[in-house]
Amino acid sequence: MGASLRATAVTTVLFGFMFLLFIGIGWIVGTIFWNDWVTGALLFLGIAGLMNLIAYFFSDRIVLTSYRARIVTESEAPRLHLIIRGIAQRAGLPMPRVAIVPNRTPNAFATGRNPKHAVVAVTQGLLEVLDDEELEGVLAHEMAHVRNRDILWMSIAATLAGAISFAARFVFWGTLFGGGRNGENLLIAVIAAVTLPIAALMIQLGISRSREYKADARGAEFTGKPTMLANALRKLDSYNEARPMQSGNPSTAHMFIVNPFSRRGLTRLFSTHPPINERIRRLEKMERDTYMRIR
C-alpha cells in the first residue's frame, strides 16, 4: 500500500473510532439520565454534526484572526506569490490567498475548508530564515495539505476531540450533582471522565501525524526535490525549539508545519507532529529512491 493510501486508511479508521467514542458518551448520558441510550446517542451524534458544520465554515476565519494574519497582495509579497503560484500550477490547484503572520518564530500553516477557499499563511520569521528552495519546500507541504483537504479533516478531529472532553466532564459533574447518583453510575462517570478525553486526544494525534507524513510526501512530489523540505524542517525544528511562540492557542498546533509551542514535559509525549527525524528520514529516502530510478 502506498503512503497516500495508507494515510487515508489510517485517517478513516481513526475517525471511525472517534465517532464511536462520541456516540458512546451519548449512550452513557442517555442510560444514566434518561434511561434511553438511543436518544442519548442520537443527540450527541447531532451535536457532533453541528459542531463540525461550524468548524467547516468558520475555522479559517477564527485561526487567521487569532494569529493576526494579514492577507497580502502580490505587490506586497512578490516572493511568496511567485513560489506559491508555481506550486499551484504544478499541483493543478487554484491560487490560494496568501497571508503573513507578524511573528518572528519561523513557521507556516494552511487553512480554509477547500482548495477554492484556501489560505496559505507564513510567519515573518519564516521569510527571514529560509532560502528560496527551502521556502518552496515548506509552501509545497502546505499546498499538499490544501490538496489533501487536511485542513477540513483536522478541524473536524479537533472539534470532535474537544466535544468529547466537554461531554465527558458533563457526564461526571451531571452524575455527581444531578441524575442517577448511585455507586454504579458514579463509577461509570469517573471512568468516562478520565479515559474518554485521553482516548479522543490520542486518536486526534494519530490523525494529525498521518496527515503530516502524507503532506510531506505529496509536497515533495510537487517540487521534485524532497531534500528542500528536509533541510527546511531541520531549520524550523531548531528555531521553534529555541524560540517557541509565546502567543496563540496550543490547540491549533496541528495546523503548523512544526509544533510552534513549548515542547517541555508531557507536551513531547502528546505531540501533534511526527518525530522530525523520522520525517526527514522519509524525505531523504524519497530522494534516494528517485535518484536510483533516474539512474
Q: Which amino acid is at 238?
A: S
Q: Residues 109, 115, 121, CA angle at the centre, nearest 5°?
A: 20
- Active-site residue, 142 included: yes
Give the DSSP per-residue string, the chain: --HHHHHHHHHHHHHHHHHHHHHHHHHHHIIIIIS-HHHHHHHHHHHHHHHHHHHHHHHHHHHHHHTT-EE--TTT-HHHHHHHHHHHHHHT-PPPEEEEE--SS--EEEE-SSGGG-EEEEEHHHHHH--HHHHHHHHHHHHHHHHHTHHHHHHHHHHHHHHHHHHHHHHHHHHHHSS--SHHHHHHHHHHHHHHHHHHHHHHHHHHHHHHHHHHHHHHHHHS-HHHHHHHHHHHHHHHHHS--SSS-GGGGGGBSS--S---THHHHT-SS--HHHHHHHHHHHHHHHHHHH-
Look-up of cell digits 502524507: 214
Catalytic residue of the set 74, 142, 221, 287: 142
Under a CB-based contact definition with an 8 Å cutoff, are residues 238 and 258 in contact? no
Catalytic positions: 142
